[in-house]
Amino acid sequence: MSKILIVGAGLSGMTAGICLARDGYEVEIWDRGNAIGGVALDQEAKMERPFAIADMTPFDIERLSHYLGFDLMPDKEKCNHIDYFTPLSSARFYVTGTKCEMHFPADLHMKLVERGPRPSSLDSHLYHVACNAGVKFRFNAVVESKKDFSELPSGSIIATGMFRKSFIALDVPFVPAYGYFAIQEFKKYQGPETIVYLDKYTKDYGYFTIINGIGAAIIFQRGARISAAAREWFPRRLKEDEGLDFDDWRIVEDYVGTPTRSLFNPRLFHDRFILTGTLAGVQDPSWVIGVHGALVSGKIAALAVKDRDKGLQEFRRMNRWWRVSYITKKFFNVTHPFSTHLIYKPIIKSRAHFHQRYLWLLYPAIPGLRRI
């Protein structure tokens, strides 16, 4: 039986591990944390409160399960009869101060997916599936320096996500990402589950999401720190617009990065390793939607272990339009904030329901969407 080492117990790492274990490989996954949860686990320890983030993503469970080869439906007993996802029919946008509602069609399968260490997260679901498949886990296994990586066996799968130190150690191009965030429990919240802010204060966006009683508010930006003006503006707007009042805001600066430095960022093979997930560049470069690509790329990494050529072919197929999305985002960055007001605002303000004929616009942005 062949042995495979995977570094990183995030979505892509665990997906790769499950696929390989089901094919008869002996799989061990190392992770820097003391449990499942990644960045959320780190922040939960620092903030000393329950921590979860809900990611908005197209998420067709039936098609994804078929592509991956295992069931993504939640195990009700293991997650306390709570789903790790919430179907999302619409999202509220504030575009340069104008309030708009964006509706999603049923065939887009838009959902909020819980990430983090709680039993009700997608991470925990994959962990249980992996354990049942025979995957072994080793926690508190820190791999982040050049020396650490040099000691790994060739052919290891690297799935270290957004952690900046891995990009640096492996010489993978990246853009530093900065954020200002707050997490809080909401027991009687009745408002929209997703609220997005597009404005002059960030070239990316701010947002609020809530899932299974935990609300998260984040304003982030790639390539530049969050200004003092933005840190004052975002909490104030949430409170005045939606009555959302968070009591503990934190800054993220020297911690994470995104694979959007180069037009050639996406890569399946790098040095002696197979990359997957965010580190491999399988992440929407415009809106940073990563869940769909993480799962798909985990499957591809497992395929690459067995057949490098087929793995590379599938990797390229799933990322076919990545560069289009990358260049489009560059245009919006260069023309910000004018493009936010003149392009984003009229489109979202139209309040038109997404129709099937317009969904091709999402193809470039999200790796694997409509191609599984």
Angle at which helices 11-22 and 122-133 cross, to 10°:
20
What pLDDT score was predicted for residue 184? 94
Residues 31, 141: contact at Cβ < 8 Å?
yes
- List, in order of start, the domains of the chain with CATH numbers: 3-362 (3.50.50.60)
From residue 131, alpha-carbon distances to 125, 136, 240, 298, 359 in Å are 10, 7, 46, 16, 37
DSSP 353: P
Cα 185 to Cα 194: distance, rounded to the nearest angstrom: 15
What pLDDT score was predicted for residue 76? 61
Cα 155 to Cα 270: distance, rounded to the nearest angstrom: 10
Beta bridge partners of 251: 180
Question: Two tokens at 122?
Answer: 């997608």
Beta bridge partners of 138: 30
Sequence-separated (6 or more) residues with CB below 8 Å from residue 277: 8, 10, 11, 12, 13, 159, 161, 283, 290, 293, 294, 297, 298
Q: How far from chain centre, in Å, is Cα 199?
A: 22
In the chain, alpha helices (H): 11-22, 38-47, 61-68, 122-133, 146-150, 164-170, 228-242, 291-306, 308-318, 322-335, 338-339, 345-349
Radius of gyration from C-alpha coordinates of the chain: 20
What pLDDT score was predicted for residue 171? 98
Nearest to 69 by CA among 366, 316, 299, 290: 299
Cα 254 to Cα 249: distance, rounded to the nearest angstrom: 16
What pLDDT score was predicted for residue 358? 58
Sequence-separated (6 or more) residues with CB below 8 Å from residue 205: 196, 197, 198, 219, 220, 287
Cα 228 to Cα 309: distance, rounded to the nearest angstrom: 49
What pLDDT score was predicted for residue 41? 77
DSSP character string of 196-215: EEESTT-SSEEEEEEETTEE
Q: Count of alpha carbons within 13 Å of 279, Cβ hemisphere only?
A: 31
213: left (phi over 0), alpha (psi -120 to 50) or beta: left
Question: pLDDT tens, position by position, for the chain (372 residues)?
Answer: 699 999 999 999 999 999 999 999 999 999 999 999 888 777 777 777 788 899 999 999 999 999 999 999 987 655 555 689 999 999 999 999 999 998 888 888 999 999 999 999 999 999 999 999 999 999 999 999 999 999 999 999 999 999 999 999 999 999 999 999 999 999 889 999 999 999 999 999 999 999 999 999 999 999 999 999 999 999 999 999 999 999 999 999 989 999 999 999 999 999 999 999 999 999 999 999 999 999 999 999 999 999 999 999 999 999 999 999 999 999 999 999 999 999 888 888 776 566 555 565 666 778 998 889
- Cβ neighbour number for residue 310 with a 10 Å cutoff: 12
Q: What are phi and psi of 113, to 5 degrees?
A: -120, 125
Residues 58, 292: contact at Cβ < 8 Å?
yes
